[in-house]
């Protein structure tokens, strides 16, 4: 491109929308790191399948199928675990941003205050926003099941039963699909940006 041919006046009048810092965090956490890790599992699976084909060629077909199934199940378990980790990261970073925003409303919204309470504080001031808060309550329960209950979908905590929403459960365990991750990223970003614009309108115009 010849820089002398660039229409500077037109360029100066062009509004370039930069991503919100939270969106950048989510991109690095999910789109970048997660995809790199998935690619690593796919590569290892292909390498192992080649090894099995070379090593067990001529063996009984049932033996071969049994070994293949074990390996594919192992790789599928790795993928399932890998999808759980970004979900924990999404909820953690979402909580960090909501905490910062809620603190601007009231100094009582300290680190010790729960994420649901902080969301309620923002809702009380500005409304619920573009995403129903029940969605994030469900994600918090999923996060807690992964961290505190070995991904088992139901447990008792301080005398109260906690249960992961059915949409995130498969065979009584937490199951996160790629679509679930995509939805969590989009909705978390939408809500953080919405409240940030409400609290800091001048920053959103800069």
**Mapped to the 3 state alphabet, what secondary structure does 25-66 carry?**
HHHHHHHHHHHHHHHHHHHHHHHHHHHHHHHCCCCCHHHHHH
12 falls within a domain? no
Mean pLDDT, rounded, of the chain: 84
Residue 36's pLDDT band, with cuts at 50, 70 and 90, is confident
Which long-range contacts (C-beta less than 8 Å, at least 24 apart) are formed by 27-35? 29/86, 29/89, 29/90, 29/93, 30/86, 30/89, 30/90, 30/181, 30/185, 33/86, 34/82, 34/83, 34/85, 34/86, 34/181
1 falls within a domain? no
> Is the predicted pLDDT of residue 157 greater than 60, yes or no?
yes
> Is the predicted pLDDT of residue 27 greater than 50, yes or no?
yes
Rounded mean pLDDT, 152-171: 94
Find all residues with CB under 8 Å of 115, minimum gap 6, and list them: 91, 94, 95, 98, 99, 136, 140
70 falls within a domain? yes
Q: Tokens 């290892």 sit at which residue? A: 44
189 falls within a domain? yes
Q: Which of 142, 166, 165 is nearest to 92 (CA)?
A: 142
Residue 7's pLDDT band, with cuts at 50, 70 and 90, is low
Tokens of 96: 């960090």
Residue 3's pLDDT band, with cuts at 50, 70 and 90, is very low
58 falls within a domain? yes
Q: Which is more confident, 47 or 164? A: 164
178 falls within a domain? yes
6 falls within a domain? no
Q: What pLDDT score was predicted for residue 1?
A: 44
10 falls within a domain? no
Percent residues over pLDDT 70 in the chain: 85
> Is the predicted pLDDT of residue 4 greater than 90, yes or no?
no
Rounded mean pLDDT, 63-88: 82
Q: What pLDDT score was predicted for residue 151?
A: 92
Rounded mean pLDDT, 39-43: 84
Residue 76's pLDDT band, with cuts at 50, 70 and 90, is confident
Rounded mean pLDDT, 89-108: 91
> Is the predicted pLDDT of residue 9 greater than 60, yes or no?
no
Q: Which of 186, 199, 183 is nearest to 127 (CA)?
A: 199
Domains contained in the chain, number = 1
Q: SS3 for 163?
A: strand
pTM: 0.75
Where in the sequence is the domain holding 53, given as residue range(s)?
A: 20-205
Q: Which is more confident, 15 or 42? A: 42
């Amino acid at each position: 491109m010849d820089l002398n041919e660039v229409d500077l006046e037109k360029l100066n009048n062009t509004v370039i929308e930069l991503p919100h810092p939270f969106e950048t965090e989510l991109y690095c956490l999910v789109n970048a790191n997660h995809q790199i890790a998935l690619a690593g599992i796919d590569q290892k699976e292909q390498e192992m399948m080649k090894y099995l084909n070379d090593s067990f060629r001529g063996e009984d077909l049932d033996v071969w199928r049994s070994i293949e199934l074990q390996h594919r199940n192992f790789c599928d378990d790795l993928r399932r675990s890998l999808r759980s980790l970004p979900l924990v990261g999404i909820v953690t970073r979402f909580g960090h941003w909501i905490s910062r925003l809620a603190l601007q409303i009231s100094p009582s919204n300290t680190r010790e205050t729960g994420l649901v309470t902080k969301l309620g504080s923002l809702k009380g001031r500005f409304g619920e926003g573009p995403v129903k808060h029940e969605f994030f309550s469900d994600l918090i329960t999923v996060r807690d099941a992964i961290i505190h209950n070995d991904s088992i979908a139901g447990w008792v905590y301080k005398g109260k039963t906690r249960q992961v929403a059915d949409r995130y459960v498969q065979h009584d365990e937490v199951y996160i699909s790629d679509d679930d991750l995509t939805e969590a990223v989009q909705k978390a970003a939408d809500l953080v940006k919405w409240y940030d614009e409400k609290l800091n309108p001048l920053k959103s115009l800069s």
